[in-house]
Structure 1
């Protein structure tokens, strides 16, 4: 029985459905972004004042005003140009390639060529290229925080053949942009491009129309008020002078000069510079602001509502306590930061002198399919403490990653355990609620198991204390 589509079927469906791509935001040209900085009423008034000043021979005033206007425009342009492609970050969540069955043969193709009916294969470390219904799998878990905000991987199992609805939250489906943390499986594509869950989000985002912020509204009203006042002053001065018998042309120039002097040339630049400074401060906190004036609106915010804590976390787990041999250890360092230490009481612990702790961490490293690595130089001030700049580069299940990061602080890593060779693996699944790995070191063969406490503890007849098994 042939698996998947033939090449001819795939090409026909590709022509009908289109490529498997997310909705692209309307891209603005740099010139359009720059010219958009001159739409404010106050800026238009300053441009008019520049022209009039030049016609009156006040070249110095004209140059000063135009420099202020250009400074204002450049600051706004730089900020918008830097963040104009924010929506394009969504496209990075889709996989660039996919392993798909074509004419019964497993091949690697660009993910954009996937169509409904294609059968793909996924395994730990892959990013799902389209919304799919699972055909068969073993120990398959997917991390769906991109859609749900929850960092705990979701267990998956095969779905019914008639299930073609890619509604969110199904444990029989794999969703575009989510990552496979454990296991492997095969799935049939049921939605591509903008029909996927992530695609629907990108479509909504690409249709957002930017409105005017409260600050822009107030500056617009101020600009109109200033324009009316300046025009009124010009007319009053001109009328009063003419009534006194002054030359008409001289009074016209006088009225225009006074009106220009009343225009607050520095106001737009002052506002823009203040907002730009605020944007840079937010950028240092990894917050990207798309438009300068949005900063003022955010500054007025007093309450932020979110539907669940998972949506505003870093999607990183951290081991903070370890219990081994009757002793409780504290693990310092949060998230995937390399720097950290293990303490027993107030002192940094030497894991080499704690066989129970070392055995626990060895189990966490060997009974795992995750991986951490770094290109940075790691310094060990003493056993049980490491330091280096930046974070670990990670891949795999968040829980397993957290165990690897904790073990690294004690010097227990895959490299230090290179003498152990994994022989067999019984992957974690929702039924057994545990994972077992059989590993060999020399002539010694050991089964390492991790899982839920209520599953493992009833199986235990001994515990380890000072390296010696106790009943």
Structure 2
């Protein structure tokens, strides 16, 4: 259960209502180069030297103490303590962002409403209809038989084109605005754990600055948000294939040859702490992102399969209509023009009428509303899906899902709330099953009444010690609410069980030598992995004796 891989399947949505605030579509995020003039502490290394160190994986540029691991030598230069982190003040945060940049990369400018309209006007069918409407208005108003009202037909065609252009642009603009809002929500929900003033707090990636101590592990804090040096870690192995293309796992050690951990990589084994030295466009992943931002997203402006087929059909029908209109024009002129030329009677009026008949044939043949009808139908479908919290970014996914017969999805955190509870156990010769207690009770509270207190204490020690620091439980946000889980949900369920057994997991961790933050180096841990299917933690008992919790 703890080792299950969690696949986060996301489909992104389109519609909402056009807000009218078209200026909001030009949304940019300031990168490092757009911050205020640097308030650089003379004690701090220069940004250039930090970036060069990470690029070359060589700390000689900074004149570090070679007797210490690079992170421990660099931390005092950045006014950071490797155990307690940096000072958590607004001024310190502002100075570091000014000197080293923000952990943001300038994003691609969003398309404006008028640019969507311009793209829609590039459609061949729309252009053809507009040309016909202009010709109709000019000829009917100048040489037609009904000059006062002749312009109405051409104007009606023009209004139809305007409706098609604006309807498509509104749908695309709504889709873009909603997806941008979704991206912002995803960014705000993507939290990392840092240590500041000795306290672990969860912050957004954009709030990380140079000098922060970031906690990571291979279970639920695997992605690395910025470049840094490994401060401390156990069995840390990184997957750098996203940057190098090599599938080989890279071992990292604080005092080893390669303590350099790059943004965009993932921890696949172990846990550790990272001293951040390069953020945003100065980090490895930031440079790559900066290079690709502004390029068109794959599939973003591609039509749906049905739309492409309909557009092809419309083009064939339009070509056929154009051919028939030309045939009708030639036939009418060939039949009636010679007689009127001989008699010199109404030649101009006859030619205008013949042209108008040909234009009418062409206008009737062009099914300009068919692609729009499909777009509106898919838009309505995506709106209904959005009401059920299923957001769709690309409309063609609606067509694909419409023909799906089987959907394979992850369960934990996707179909469920990812909030676990200890429901059954076998301890001290006692079976505790869900059927043995009511919905308001827990397995821990029942177990505490059936086994000796010494055994209860030993089990509580096991669950408190043999869980990661990144896993803890916070009080409910509202009276009567659920406790807030932070970290691995399975471990949080075990920590709740410790409380129901009548013990405090935080106190156990602080009082255990080899497990508390101050004495952690005296212990030994092996983090949980899907390969081992267990976690181990050894703590000294004194007199050369050890106790191993598994």
Class of the TM-score when normalised by the shorter of the 2 chains:
0.5 to 0.7
The residue matched to 1:289 in structure 2 has which SS? coil
Provide the C-alpha distance between the structure 2 equivalents of 1:303 and 1:264, rounded to a whole number of angstroms.
36
Distance 1:217 1:159, change over 3 A: same
Provide the C-alpha distance between the structure 2 equivalents of 1:222 and 1:261, rounded to a whole number of angstroms.
15
Shift of 1:252: 0.8
1:355 matched to 2:448? The reply is yes
Aligned partners of 2:425 and 2:431 also within 8 Å? yes
Please identify which structure carries the higher helix content: 2
Distance 1:285 1:363, change over 3 A: farther
The residue matched to 2:232 in structure 1 has which SS? strand
Shift of 1:81: 3.1
Aligned partners of 2:227 and 2:278 also within 8 Å? yes
1:136 matched to 2:232? The reply is yes
Provide the C-alpha distance between the structure 1 equivalents of 2:375 and 2:186, rounded to a whole number of angstroms.
29
Q: What is aligned with 1:66? A: 162
Structure number, greater radius of gyration: 2
The residue matched to 1:244 in structure 2 has which SS? helix
Q: What is aligned with 1:245? A: 336
Distance 1:355 1:305, change over 3 A: closer
Aligned partners of 1:96 and 1:111 also within 8 Å? no
* Structure 1 counterpart of 2:310, from 186, 194, 219: 219
TM-score (norm 2): 0.52
Q: What is aligned with 1:371? A: 473
Provide the C-alpha distance between the structure 2 equivalents of 1:324 and 1:401, rounded to a whole number of angstroms.
19
1:82 matched to 2:178? The reply is yes
Distance 1:13 1:219, change over 3 A: farther
Please identify which structure carries the higher strand content: 1
TM-score (norm 1): 0.59
Q: What is aligned with 2:322? A: 231
Shift of 1:57: 2.1
Provide the C-alpha distance between the structure 1 equivalents of 2:266 and 2:225, rounded to a whole number of angstroms.
9
The residue correspondences of 1:127-166 to structure 2 (distance < 5 A) are: 129-137=225-233, 158-163=253-258
The residue matched to 2:228 in structure 1 has which SS? strand
Provide the C-alpha distance between the structure 2 equivalents of 1:421 and 1:162, rounded to a whole number of angstroms.
37
The residue correspondences of 1:52-63 to structure 2 (distance < 5 A) are: 56-58=151-153, 59-60=155-156, 62-63=158-159
Shift of 1:276: 1.2
In structure 1, the gaps of 5 or more residues are 101-109, 148-153, 167-172, 331-342, 379-387, 439-448, 453-471
Structure with greater contact order relative to length (CA < 8 Å, sep ≥ 6): 2
Q: What is aligned with 2:36? A: none
Q: What is aligned with 2:380? A: 277
* Structure 2 counterpart of 1:13, from 38, 46, 49: 49
RMSD in angstroms over aligned alpha carbons?
Answer: 5.6
Q: What is aligned with 1:257? A: 360
Provide the C-alpha distance between the structure 1 equivalents of 2:282 and 2:294, rounded to a whole number of angstroms.
11
Shift of 1:76: 2.2
The residue matched to 1:394 in structure 2 has which SS? strand
Distance 1:33 1:318, change over 3 A: farther
Provide the C-alpha distance between the structure 1 equivalents of 2:506 and 2:397, rounded to a whole number of angstroms.
56
Aligned partners of 2:538 and 2:548 also within 8 Å? yes
Q: What is aligned with 2:108? A: 26
Distance 1:317 1:141, change over 3 A: farther
Shift of 1:437: 12
Aligned partners of 1:319 and 1:403 also within 8 Å? yes
Aligned partners of 2:425 and 2:432 also within 8 Å? yes
Shift of 1:6: 6.0
Distance 1:346 1:236, change over 3 A: farther
Distance 1:94 1:356, change over 3 A: closer
Aligned partners of 1:424 and 1:437 also within 8 Å? no
Provide the C-alpha distance between the structure 1 equivalents of 2:136 and 2:214, rounded to a whole number of angstroms.
69
Provide the C-alpha distance between the structure 2 equivalents of 1:49 and 1:310, rounded to a whole number of angstroms.
58
Provide the C-alpha distance between the structure 2 equivalents of 1:450 and 1:280, rounded to a whole number of angstroms.
55
Q: What is aligned with 1:103? A: none
